[in-house]
């Protein structure tokens, strides 16, 4: 693992690191914010999974999360959204290929050899992080935006007991019924839709739910609402009597201005669970 940069921020440290990944077969870069408390003891960790086109950097510089993480004493991990590099398959569309890993393990040509973001985010990266940094594996929360909200919700529900809390900003909530989902699942996982189901937050909510609190914010003026399908997940949450809140925020769109507006609430939400 190689240190790209370390910058003092809000009394803690914002680092960027690169490592050679077995899961994706290429170098992967991530951002990690450690609050001041990490200098003496392991701290809780909140995962932030980013959306389409993003690298590790977008949320790290635009979400305004470090201020609240420092105030609450939690670390933040910002992984990349896909494998990258000249030897890695890509596509002309912004929503397929590099920058659009969708947090699945691709099985189809030409994506299979590198597009293993599920394994990377749920297995390889956590092992590396808990080995190398002062982070408390017993206290994790997870959040994300758009495609990253999809990732956060599906991962949280797929590993019961790993995360104490999950939240999402404008998640792709029902991808098996959306062009943000059907296109990518067909490309990465093939045409057998039974293989898509474990990667759909609404279907997972109907099937098993999450054993902790959930907070979801969605902008009412989001230009992608028809692709995000919040109504499907909201119904499934209430039908399951899932502990949580689904908020429709008047006037907000899909941008990081929306994310940063409600970041304080989300970090506070996770901190309440992680320091309970």
250 binds a second copy (CB under 8 A): yes
Tokens for 135?
């982070």
238 binds a second copy (CB under 8 A): yes
Among the listed residues 166, 150, 160, the one whose alpha carbon sits nearest the alpha carbon of residue 118: 150
175 binds a second copy (CB under 8 A): no
What are the distances in angstroms from CA 98 to CA 2, 52, 84, 107?
22, 9, 6, 16
Binding residues for a second copy restricted to 205-234, rule: CB under 8 A: 213, 218, 220-221, 225, 230-234
Of 125 and 233, the one with the shorter C-beta distance to a second copy is: 233
Of 117 and 214, the one with the shorter C-beta distance to a second copy is: 214
Closest CB 242 distance from a second copy, rounded Å: 6
Identified binder of a second copy from the candidate list 249, 255, 261, 272, rule CB under 8 A:
249
Based on the residue annotation, tell me whether 222 is a catalytic residue of this protein: yes
Closest CB 213 distance from a second copy, rounded Å: 7
Of 154 and 218, the one with the shorter C-beta distance to a second copy is: 218
From the list 199, 254, 266, 270, the catalytic residue is 254
Does residue 79 contact residue 125 with C-beta atoms inside 8 Å?
yes
What does the alpha-carbon distance between residue 76 and residue 34 come to, in Å, rounded to a whole number?
Answer: 7
Three-state DSSP class for 154?
A: helix
Of 8 and 250, the one with the shorter C-beta distance to a second copy is: 250
Does residue 271 contact residue 37 with C-beta atoms inside 8 Å?
no
Instruction: Please state the φ and ψ torsions of residue 142, each to the nearest 5 degrees.
Output: -145, 140
What are the distances in angstroms from CA 14 to CA 3, 30, 175, 182?
11, 11, 33, 36
26 binds a second copy (CB under 8 A): no
* Site residues (vs a second copy, CB under 8 A): 213, 218, 220-221, 225, 230-239, 241-250
| Residues designated as active site | 146, 222, 254
């Amino acid at each position: 693992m190689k240190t790209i940069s370390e910058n003092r921020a809000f009394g803690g440290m914002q680092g960027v690191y690169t490592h050679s990944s077995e899961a994706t077969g290429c170098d992967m870069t991530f951002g990690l914010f450690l609050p001041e408390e990490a200098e003496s003891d392991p701290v809780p960790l909140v995962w932030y999974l980013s959306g389409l086109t993003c690298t590790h950097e977008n949320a790290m510089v635009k979400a305004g999360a470090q201020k609240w993480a420092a105030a609450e004493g939690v670390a933040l991990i910002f992984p990349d959204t896909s494998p990258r590099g000249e030897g890695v398959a890509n596509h002309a569309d912004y929503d397929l290929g590099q920058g659009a890993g969708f947090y699945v393990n691709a099985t189809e040509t030409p994506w299979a050899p590198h597009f293993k973001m599920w394994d990377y985010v749920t297995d390889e990266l956590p092992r590396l992080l808990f080995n190398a940094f002062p982070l408390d594996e017993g206290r994790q929360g997870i959040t994300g935006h758009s495609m990253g909200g999809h990732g956060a919700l599906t991962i949280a529900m797929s590993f019961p007991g790993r995360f104490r809390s999950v939240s999402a900003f404008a998640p792709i909530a029902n991808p098996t019924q959306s062009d943000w989902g059907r296109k990518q699942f067909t490309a990465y996982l093939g045409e057998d839709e039974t293989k898509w189901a474990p990667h759909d937050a609404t279907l997972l909510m109907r099937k098993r739910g999450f054993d902790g609190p959930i907070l979801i914010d969605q902008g009412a003026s989001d230009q992608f609402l028809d692709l995000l399908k919040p109504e499907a997940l909201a119904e499934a949450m209430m039908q399951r009597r899932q502990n949580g809140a689904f908020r429709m925020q008047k006037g907000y769109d899909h941008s990081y201005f929306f994310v940063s507006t409600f970041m304080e609430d989300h970090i506070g939400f996770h901190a309440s669970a992680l320091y309970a």
